[in-house]
Amino acid sequence: MTQTNAMPFTLVLFGATGDLARRRLVPSLYALWCDGALPADWQLVGVSRSARSSDEWRAELAEILEDTPAEDFLAHLSYLTADATDVAALNKLPDTLGSQRCIFYLATRADLYAGITRALGDAGLVSEQSRIVLEKPIGLDYASAAGIEAGVRERFQERQIFRIDHYLGKETVQNLLVLRFANSLFENQWNHRFIDHIQITIAESGSVAGRGVFYEEVGALRDMVQNHLLQLLCMTAMEPPYALDADAVRDEKVKVLRALRPMDTTTIAEQVVRGQYTGGVNGESGYAEDAGVRESTTETFVAMRVAIDNWRWAGVPFYLRTGKRLPARTCEIAVHFRPVPHSIFPQQRASMANRLVFRLQPDEGIQLAFSEKRPGAAMDIRMSELSLNPQTLRRERVPDAYERLLADVIHDNQTLFVRHDELMAAWYWVDPILKEWRESGARPEPYRAGTWGPSAATMLLARDGRLWDEREIDDAPDG
């Protein structure tokens, strides 16, 4: 197997027996190894409180990978049973970690981040070459995020910290940058003069079953809006960076977050909708049953109308939406262009305006909707879609987002990772919504499992004379 020229490294994975490690991280690392993207000299050390030997951990992962060459991959893996915040326990890690290139991946609860980094420092395992990867959500509000960040930054400098948001590693998000900034056709029209509005949807068909304790503490606003949705908003709305450089790109994203129009009590009531799913039409369970609670004010759905106060986006609303137990699992950014100022075709309606859709899941791709003549003698107009993805790409395996991001950590590239000021700017904007919900005592609006959320979410757009792109989403293949 051909190997990359990347420097040797040791990846220490905290939370090694958790769902994220098993489903995404180890399989993604294996895919990189199969592609020859890892150096010859590397190792993965799993750390968790769950008692097991290295052989037992490797056997568990072998069942997931189900591939003959995996035996050679698994030879690079070892396991340590330890409390990650215990300095004495971490001293059992190889003594060489403090002097070699080491990546610490914290696939744990965020409230453990400060304690783990402090223990790593006290154990003498942090060096100039060390890097640390943090999963979201970092904190539950601005104050708790600031506390976690302060603890991590005691031991690691900003250039050593990789705050991961796996949506930024998706192929289509990176293609969004190329489509905008490498094509004058699109960038020249990427502003309020040509765009009517933009919809960003992250819909999940699954419930919170099995994650009730986590979800009761977090909810949809913290879990999805503060990070995933706002990150996709930034990638869509940002100004052209001066270069494809980590700080250049993130400088422009921070500008978007700082330009978000603040929410107050009035605007939150008018422009933010929160919901909680109940039992569905086919006998599906409701949130309280899935979460194992009697009653709850935790939201499983959020929709909002967002404004960006700058010249490019003046007057252009961004509609953000996310929820559990919706009819389909999908993520897309839909850019709705303004209709032609005067149509000479009586059949052409305003709803036939051009639309550019970036679909991130389940089937990644980009489609441009446009009007064309239906074949025949009559001048009959219909909407058609043009795929902007080459057929060759459709036949190739699309790498998992974690593959790209793990490779970027290995190569020390922070472009697709969240910077400290980005994180805090997002929390600063979200905090007033959390505060208003907490102080008002209002309950989320119920919606039936298997529907597109509360009726108030439909009215959020209807008041502006618009509709969500639900038909297009329903027609999407499950991939």
Structure tokens belonging to residue 78: 């070892």
pTM of the entire predicted model: 0.92
Pick the more confident residue, 442 or 357.
357
Asked whether residue 206 carries a pLDDT value surpassing 80, the answer given is yes
Asked if the model's pLDDT at residue 248 lies above 70, the reply is: yes
Which residues are annotated as catalytic?
A: 228
CB 169 within 8 A of CB 404: yes
The per-residue pLDDT of the chain, averaged, comes to: 90
Three-state SS for 123-182 is CCCCCCCCEEEECCCCCCCHHHHHHHHHHHHCCCCHHHEEECCHHHHCHHHHHHHHHHHC
pLDDT digits (tens, 9 = 90+) for 306-353: 999 999 999 999 999 999 999 999 999 999 999 877 766 666 565 678
Q: Report yes or no: 476 and 359 within 8 Å, Cβ to Cβ.
A: yes
pLDDT tens for 99-151 read 568 999 999 999 999 999 999 999 999 999 999 999 999 999 999 999 999 99
pLDDT at 66 over 50: yes
Q: Rounded CA gap, 141 and 432, in Å?
A: 10
Q: Which pLDDT score, from 0 to 100, does residue 220 have?
A: 96
Using the predicted structure, report yes or no on whether residue 377 has a pLDDT greater than 50: yes
CA 360/CA 358 separation, integer angstroms: 6
Residues 443-453: tens digit of each pLDDT: 999 999 999 99
pLDDT at 96 exceeding the cut of 70 = no
Contacts made by residues 183-188, CB under 8 angstroms, sequence distance 24+: 186/356, 187/240
